[in-house]
Amino acid sequence: MLREYDCWLQNRKKNTFYDSLNPEFNAVYVIGMESSDLIFNQAVEELRTGLLRLFGFSPAIYPVKSGGNDKKAEEKKGIFLGTRENLKNLFNLPMEKMAPSSFMIKSIDKNLIITGEDAEGILYGVFRFLFLVVLKTENKSRDLSQGSSLEFDIREEPSSPIRMINHWDNINGTIERGYAGSSIFFKDDKIVYEKERVKDYARLLSSIGINALSFNNVNVRGAARMLITEEMLPDAAAIAAIFRPFGIKLFISVNFNSPIIIGKLPVSDPLDPGVIEWWKNQTDLVYSYIPDLGGFLIKADSEGQPGPFQYGRNHADGANTLARALKPHGGLIIWRCFVYNAAQDWRDRTQDRPKAAYDNFLPLDGSFDDNVILQPKYGTLDFQVGEPVAPMFGAFKKTRHIMELQITQEYTGHQIDLCFLPTLWEGIMDFNTDRGPNSRIRELVGNYREGSSFIEGFAAVVNIGLDNNWTGHTLAQANLYGYGRMIWDPSLKASDIAREWCLLSFGSGKTSEIISAILLKSYRTYEKYIAPFGVGFMVTPGSHYGPNIEGYEYSRWGTYHRADTKAIGVDRTSSGTGYTDQYSPSVAAMFANPSSCPDENLLFIHRLPYDFIMKNGESLLQNIYNTHFEGYDEVFALMGEWKKLKDSLEEEVYNSVLSRFERQLSNAREWRDQINTYFFRRSGIGDKKGRQIYG
Ligand code: GCU
């Protein structure tokens, strides 16, 4: 029985498998409990309720003083929970220091120890243990269902320190690019929330390793601009308090013009002494309410949001002023790099939007204070399918930075269409920037060191709202789960994640296998019926759902495909806009040659005639037709797979996903026919296979 609200933390106690498990699990010894650490205490609580959820019993909890001399504890049998430092003595284990937030789960005699380097590590260890119990695997290979006891020997550490969620929640309760109901944080220009719901959300996030969250939209408008004032800070502090025991730090998105808006100063020039003083005082005030605030997130000089450009200053000037206000409090300023001319003239071919982020930020490499974190999107246009990984990754050498992903399906089907995003993210992790040894994205994820190109983590625009199942489309829960898992361990494959999520959500068996297979096909299917081969924007302006092939063609947003009767695309090689020159020479050369450029990026990089012969020996035009016919057919087939599950799923889950597949099918049909007709009318060349194209 799937309780959609519980996502991947399903109640499994009815499963008889668990009855046969280790009886020692009914005693939990908490070493160092007197520490009154909120996160540690939460870990104990999660273990208690997790065992109840999975095994059907609530274990006895025995607090044990730290110090390691408690002989009585040594004689006991059960689960031991504590920091490495405390458990080391008790079990006389040769345990060397581990990285922050890392954990170890180990069976010793009849005991199980869950230990972390710190309280966060213990909490993550508890969640991992509970997952592994369900996944029935140990040491990644042994199937626990074969044995009568659970044996563990696991050690994990997060790939990077910043694992963040960005909410684009507006203070009126709507969500920019939200497809799962209203905001869980805001309503009617106020912070309005249901405490238990936010706590359940914190638990879900923490269970997948998330440790930072910004709760308001990066477009900071209206009353949201006052979130950093005395009027709203008490409520913001109450939200921070819900996330705190789960090891998640709250961030607030701020407006660059706050000194004018809140402080009533004449300017917000970051080099103006009055402005510097204002940010310092206001930040002190914020920290008096939320002493452990993670910091501020900012969208500056981007799509109409104010920034340092209005005073002829650059992004480093802007970021450093905020950074210095945050520094005494240990706070970070996360500065987005989604900066481009959003008022372009489509006639002007001298500009190329994908070049803008690199052009704006690379020259500033080394000019940012050490508590500034830059946040570029993974691609250079805007979360489009088929965008190459942005060239600044691997290129920054003296700038702390993270990568921004999008879990909410703005351009990937609005949580109506199924689109399993870990497939995309696996490709991103695999991208080789080729700027030296070990320079694939997954190899660059790690702690920052001066002179290195390490990516210190990830932020992603989340896909949840007040819908009972959180994500609108129940299967879109897999994208949130997958984000946490993949950024914790970038070597994971999309297929591992699909399998894990299905087992946790649906249990083992045929149902789970079918759903996993559906998920794994969904991204490539989606890619087939939308804008072809990475050409970018062909979506309906504003909403970004469904086709409108020339919808953005004459707009100000710089997102043009320039299709005419002979060719389509923008030449972004050195003979064109020069975008590919922003990459390392080998990557630039790989992109510049259409025969080595991946098909999924082909029209992002090249302008090609319709009769261009692609790698499979077919023309570009014929490939456009083929993929669009196939895309629709594949949605139909996926829906057929789903229908096989009618008797094995709860009616509500089955029907809500089915109705989404029906809507996806009509969307795919619209894309297929509009795209095929458009190119047929432009080129005058029909489909080789004679399938129906509406002329
Ligand atoms: C996209 C999106 C906007 C959002 C922007 C951003 O352009 O459509 O709604 O504000 O990205 O990332 O800031």
How far apart are alpha carbons 446 and 73 in whole angstroms?
Answer: 38
How far, in Å, is the centroid of ligand 1 from the Cα of 42?
35
Considering only CA atoms, which residue is closest to atom 10 of ligand 1? 219
Contact call for residues 636 and 665 (beta carbons, < 8 A): yes
How far apart are alpha carbons 459 and 414 in whole angstroms?
Answer: 19
Together in a domain, 447 and 540: no
Here the CATH number for the domain that contains residue 352 is 3.20.20.80
Measured from the CB, is residue 219 less than 6 Å from ligand 1? yes
Domain membership of residue 305 (yes or no) is: yes
Look up tokens 């949840």; give the residue. 464
Here the CATH number for the domain that contains residue 151 is 3.30.379.10
**What was the pLDDT predicted at 146?**
41
Domain membership of residue 519 (yes or no) is: no
Measured from the CB, is residue 85 less than 6 Å from ligand 1? no
Catalytic residue among 269, 317, 410, 527: 410
Domain membership of residue 541 (yes or no) is: yes
Together in a domain, 135 and 252: no
Here the CATH number for the domain that contains residue 641 is 3.90.1330.10
- 527 band by pLDDT with thresholds 50, 70 and 90: very high
Would you call 307 helix, strand, or coil by DSSP?
Answer: coil
pTM higher than 0.85, yes or no?
Answer: yes
Total count of domains within the chain:
3
Together in a domain, 318 and 425: yes
Measured from the CB, is residue 382 less than 6 Å from ligand 1? yes
- In tens, the pLDDT along 47-105 reads 999 999 988 888 899 988 876 555 555 567 889 999 999 998 888 776 789 999 999 99
Q: How many CA atoms lie within 13 A of 620 on its CB side?
A: 25
Nearest atom of ligand 1 to the alpha carbon of 461: 12
Domain membership of residue 602 (yes or no) is: no
User: What's the mean per-residue pLDDT of the chain?
Assistant: 94
Query: What tokens appear for 649 in the block?
Result: 């799923």
Active-site residue 410, yes or no?
A: yes
Domain membership of residue 100 (yes or no) is: yes
Considering only CA atoms, which residue is closest to atom 7 of ligand 1? 382
Question: Which of 73-87, 363-377, 387-401, 681-695 has the least mean pLDDT?
Answer: 73-87
Together in a domain, 393 and 333: yes
Active-site residue 303, yes or no?
A: yes
Nearest atom of ligand 1 to the alpha carbon of 299: 13
| SS3 labels along 338-386 | CCCCCCCCCCCCCCCHHHHHHHHHHHHCCCCCCCEEEECECECCCCCCC
Measured from the CB, is residue 633 less than 6 Å from ligand 1? no
Measured from the CB, is residue 584 less than 6 Å from ligand 1? no
pLDDT surpassing 60 at residue 144:
no
**What was the pLDDT predicted at 67?**
64
Domain membership of residue 329 (yes or no) is: yes
Domain end among 156, 183, 206: 156
Considering only CA atoms, which residue is closest to atom 11 of ligand 1? 382
Together in a domain, 142 and 170: no
* Residue-range definition of the domain harbouring residue 59: 4-156
How far, in Å, is the centroid of ligand 1 from the Cα of 352?
18
pLDDT surpassing 60 at residue 18:
no
How far, in Å, is the centroid of ligand 1 from the Cα of 585?
31
Together in a domain, 151 and 178: no
**Which residue type sits at 48?**
R
Domain membership of residue 222 (yes or no) is: yes
Measured from the CB, is residue 176 less than 6 Å from ligand 1? yes
Domain membership of residue 202 (yes or no) is: yes
Domain end among 452, 470, 505: 505
Would you call 575 helix, strand, or coil by DSSP?
Answer: coil
Together in a domain, 248 and 391: yes
Beta pairing partners, 163? 458
Look up tokens 């250079």; give the residue. 380
Domain end among 118, 133, 156: 156
Question: Smallest Cα–Cα separation from 195: which of 240, 248, 228, 164?
Answer: 240
Catalytic residue among 118, 382, 634, 687: 382
Together in a domain, 75 and 183: no
**What was the pLDDT predicted at 90?**
83
Considering only CA atoms, which residue is closest to atom 1 of ligand 1? 382
- In tens, the pLDDT along 567-612 reads 999 999 999 999 999 999 999 999 999 999 999 999 999 999 999 9
How far apart are alpha carbons 97 and 157 in whole angstroms?
Answer: 12
Q: For a substitution probing ligand 1, which of 214, 297, 298, 382 has the most ligand atoms within 8 Å of its CB?
A: 382
Together in a domain, 617 and 492: no
- In tens, the pLDDT along 193-212 reads 999 999 999 999 999 999 99
How far, in Å, is the centroid of ligand 1 from the Cα of 302?
9
How far, in Å, is the centroid of ligand 1 from the Cα of 434?
29
Reported residue count of the chain is: 695
Measured from the CB, is residue 353 less than 6 Å from ligand 1? no
- In tens, the pLDDT along 243-284 reads 999 999 999 999 999 999 999 999 999 999 999 999 999 999
Query: What tokens appear for 226 in the block?
Result: 């006052």
Question: Smallest Cα–Cα separation from 459: which of 294, 212, 249?
Answer: 212
Measured from the CB, is residue 338 less than 6 Å from ligand 1? yes
Together in a domain, 104 and 179: no
pLDDT surpassing 60 at residue 292:
yes
Catalytic residue among 303, 430, 496, 630: 303
The residue-averaged pLDDT of 123-136 equals: 91
Together in a domain, 226 and 337: yes
Measured from the CB, is residue 299 less than 6 Å from ligand 1? yes
Together in a domain, 135 and 202: no
| SS3 labels along 472-516 | CCHHHHHHHHHHHHHHHCCCCCHHHHHHHHHHHHHCCCHHHHHHH
Q: Which helix (H) or strand (E) holds 429?
A: helix 422-430
- In tens, the pLDDT along 219-243 reads 999 999 999 999 999 999 999 999 9
